[in-house]
Structure 1
Amino acid sequence: MLELLQSLKISLLHTGFAKLGKEWDYDNVISPFVRLFYVTKGTAKLYHNQTTFNLKEGYMYLIPSYVYNRYKCEDYHEQYYISFFEEIRTGLSLFNLRSVKYEVPIQNEDAALFKRLTTLYPKRKIINNDPKAYVHQPQELLAFNKKHAQNSTQRYLETQGILTVLLSRFIENEAPNTTNATTTSRIPDVLFYIAEHLTAPLEIKDLANKYHVSTDHFSRIFLKEFGMRPNLYIQTKRIERAQLLLCTTAYSLEEIAHKVGIENFSYFSRTFKKITGTTPGKYRKNQHLSP
């Protein structure tokens, strides 16, 4: 587990300070990156993971990647914000390894870290307050990060330190969704195995054989432990990987389908639309619109 945590990679996208009013009212927001808010004044509402959060002064808020969320401000509020990609070596998210809190009180040094990041990157602010426009030319931003790491090692390391500290405030020292110790011990590394083999054929019967149980029993265990059937989980993870590749690479749609383990492009397109509500081509086009 420690080795996996040590492989955590964080890539900054945006950071800035915003003054927001009643126009901050958006629904059906799903993004392939993580967002952090620090509210300095006023109130607003945020909904995700079946929970409504009343944003208030002096608190930080976390929105993981690939979760449905919505926003609403009935009056006025001010916030510092950060968006970034995070990934573990296997292609998993940190949120697959640890439970998280979504609301935590700000600490004095944390407030300074938000302000410091906006000072380091004054041109990373969001021009369009619509959260759906947050992914603005991520390929260019990630290319800038790479160039920046080569040209300014000190600032690159400081950025990584700031993001790691702020993210750490939300992480708890326990695995997520651990509802049954016996069940967990039966399939302890199945998520890692799936993540590392997304590009290969993944049959449920083969996964069941790996853990020496019947296919039906494996599916029941998986559903109880992770909240969905294994086939749907595999589909979802492949499409999440495809979303990331569509945002951050220049691979063709067909190449991306192959890279996430789906050889039939028509099936890839249908599955992508079923899960995201849009086609791969439209998804990529929307992510590259200037805000």
Structure 2
Amino acid sequence: MNSPFTRIHVVTRGNAWLLRDGNKHPLNTQHLYLTPSYTPHSYECDNEFYLYYIHIYETLEKKSSIFDQMNFPVEIEGDALLLDLVERLYLINPGRELSFYDPGAYDNSTELIKNIAMQGNTPLALELESRGIIQQLLSRFFAYATPKTPNVDERMSRVLEYIHTNIHTPIHIDKLAEISFLTKDHFIRLFKKQLNCTPGKYINQKKIEKAQLMMLIENYSIQELAFRLGFENVSYFNRLFKKLTGENPSQYKKRLNM
């Protein structure tokens, strides 16, 4: 699973496991688990399992995500306040629970689309309270977060901010080199050394992640989606999307609307 949602699980009863980053994490009662968006993961469960399941998606604002910047712990221990906050979040968002929990199919269910539509009609007071609760939950994880790229210097930080802010446009390596005050060849070498991938690969990954989110919350045609993300060639966008997600955009969009 490689979802555009960030997920917080709060376990209340039963046994299950989260498979992520090559590790198998037991899901313990009254603990909270955070899985950032676009993090490949899966689950194992061989019996009844009860939990609160919170999915969070970011807006389409042109800015860097905190999950691009920081590594968060997978698990934190809950306390009375956190568990009360989760209960409160559930109570002020009625009708959002899943009638059937299937981690392998949830992102593609009609319930997901219904919940997103309901979110747009939430009274402002409850919307603000919900956001406040989610921020408090995330703040507990943030207390143990570490920089995702601790060796990135100020030049590469400027480049990353430019990429995230301009992900909807064609991004040229010459421009990134100019921002970093380096020659093109030196910039590419330094970017690869500090980010462990080439600038082109990083840009393409972020564009396809943005495409997944855009398909989830807006009804764009594939051609319009490609153009809105700065692709001049729709065929190339289709090939890149399939390479990075395992299916072409039309298949992905169809699954979202099943």
AA of the residue aligned to 1:114: V
Name 2:176's counterpart in structure 1.
207
Matched, 1:101 2:73: yes
Q: Partners of 2:150 and 2:131 in 1: how far apart? A: 33
Tell me, yes or no, if structure 1 residue 128 matches structure 2 residue 89: no
Deviates more, 1:257-266 or 1:137-146: 137-146
Q: Give the aligned partner of residue 196 of structure 1.
A: 165
Give 1:223's aligned amino acid: K
Bigger mean CA deviation after superposition, 98-107 or 263-272: 98-107
Mapped to 1, the partners of 2:147 and 2:35 lie a distance apart of 16
1:223-234 correspondence to structure 2 within 5 Å = 223-234=192-203
| 1:93 aligned partner, one-letter code | S
Larger mean Cα displacement after TM superposition, 95-104 or 53-62: 95-104
What is the CA distance between 1:194 and its match in structure 2?
A: 0.5
Contact 2:4 2:209 in 1 (8 A): yes
SS at match of 1:113: helix
Matched, 1:144 2:113: no
Query: How does the TM-score come out when normalised to structure 2?
Result: 0.90
What are the superposed Cα offsets for residues 38-77 of structure 1, whole Å, 9 maximum, x if unpaired? 1122322112234331211121000111111010024443
Query: For structure 1, which runs of at least 5 residues remain unmatched after alignment?
Result: 1-28
Distance 1:125 1:74 in 2: 22
Distance 2:3 2:24 in 1: 18
Aligned runs of 1:42-121 on 2, under 5 Å?
Answer: 42-87=14-59, 89-121=61-93
Pairwise CA RMSD: 2.1
Q: 1:158 aligned to 129, 136, 158, which one?
A: 129
2:148 pairs, out of 177, 187, 190, with: 177
Amino acid at match of 1:166: L
Q: Distance in 2 between matches of 1:163 and 1:233?
A: 29
Tell me, what secondary structure is at the counterpart of 1:189? helix
TM-score (norm 1): 0.81
1:207 counterpart letter in structure 2 = L
* Matched positions, count: 256
Distance 2:179 2:157 in 1: 12
Which letter does structure 1 place at the counterpart of 2:198?
Answer: R
> What is the SS of the residue equivalent to 2:147?
coil
Identity %: 35
> Given residue 64 of structure 1, which amino acid in structure 2 is its aligned partner?
P
Contact residue 2 and residue 37 of structure 2 kept, 8 A = yes
Give the deviation of 1:230 after TM superposition: 1.1
Letter aligned with residue 36 of structure 2: P
Partner of 1:9: none
AA aligned opposite 1:283: Y
The one-character-per-residue Cα deviations of 1:54-112 (angstroms, maximum 9, x if unpaired) are 21112100011111101002444321111111258433322123331121000211111
Matched, 1:283 2:257: no
**Deviation string for 1:221-269 (max 9, x for gaps)?**
2223223211111011111111111111112111110111111111110
Shift of 1:131: 1.7
